[in-house]
Homo-oligomer: A and B are copies of this chain.
Amino acid sequence: MSITVVGSVAYDSIETPSGRRERCLGGAATYFALAASFFCDVRVIAVVGEDFGPEQETVFERHHIDTRGIERAAGKSFFWEGSYLENLNEAKTRNTELNVFATFEPKIPEAYRDSEFLFLANIDPVLQRRVREAMPQVKLVAGDTMNYWINDYRPALLEVLKGLDILLINDAETRVLGENQNLVKAAKAVMSMGPRILVAKHGEYGATLFHSQRNGAMGERTFRAPALPLEEVVDPTGAGDSFAGGFFGYLAAQKELTPGVFRRAMFYGSVMGSFAVERFGTERLEQLTRAEIDERFVRFRELTHLD
């Protein structure tokens, strides 16, 4: 099985209490693709500028990620600069340059059209919807968004939500989108907008999967995966996208999507998120092995299981 992901491939300049990195490879689609690549084939739809060189290309190649959908446009790649000096849990954006992303028109290579899994990373909901509609054959669609789109582009976002099976967002976004301070009530409201599954990410406290089937008995369908208590978070950038990549990548690699498979997917999501924050940018994901992933999966089980 393969996943097609549409989203940003970018350069990030990041400052955290552990240090600073200039123009490292970043973007939601990059983190997602790297994390998912340990589980299944991944195909990327994005746009980059003339500054995107062989070094960056190699990162994708080494993980056998299909980059035929990454368009090269005249100009510079999307650039983001952020700081976690004040709060490791929330980036403070210092600068965003859309560059080639400002006029991005996603083009889907013919070779991608048999993908059964589609991930709509956090981009303009108008683009998310266009890609969704251009790939009617997919059997499972997941997506992400952020407060910027929730607050200012709600009608367009609501259209996207109608076409989603799974939405992965954080607690604050869930509360704003669901217009309720109570996370469970907000989750229900969000699921009434389309996605039958909502994965609410709690940062250092893990994530909860809410399922909309069987009204009134959601507790039985709810599943909570922990995060690993870490002594050092070097760089939180991409943790959520890496979670999504581990979660959706694991799902795409399974024969059947049983409740047990979704539970394991939550664990693999948490596992990939916990690796992503150990070093700057994509450094840790680039050097990761499947053996390390499985080892940490066992550790997550020990962290939460009674026996």
Contact = CB atoms under 8 A, between A and B. Distances in A.
Interface of A: 88, 181-185, 187, 202, 204-206, 208, 210, 219-220, 222-224, 226, 228-233, 260, 263-264, 267, 299, 301-307
A183 B184 CA distance: 26
A267 B305 CA distance: 10
A260 B306 contact: yes
- In the A-B complex, list the 4 residue pairs whose CB atoms are closest, starting with the nearest: A205-B205, A184-B231, A224-B226, A184-B229
A66 to B, nearest CB: 31
Contact of A220 (B185, B187, B299): B299
Given A219-B299, A260-B306, A260-B307, A184 B224 contact: no
Chain A facing B: main interface SS: mixed
Contact of A204 (B183, B305, B307): B183
A210 to B, nearest CB: 8
Contacts of A230: 182, 184
B306 A263 contact: yes
A304 B307 contact: no
Given A204-B183, A305-B306, A306-B264, A222 B229 contact: yes
Contacts of A220: 299, 302
Nearest to A180: B231
B264 A222 contact: no
Contact of A229 (B88, B208, B267, B301): B208
A303 B222 contact: yes
Nearest to A219: B299
Nearest to A306: B263
26 contacts: A88-B181, A182-B230, A182-B231, A182-B233, A183-B229, A185-B231, A187-B229, A205-B205, A205-B206, A208-B229, A219-B303, A220-B299, A220-B302, A222-B303, A223-B303, A223-B304, A224-B226, A224-B229, A224-B304, A226-B304, A260-B306, A263-B306, A301-B306, A304-B304, A304-B305, A305-B306
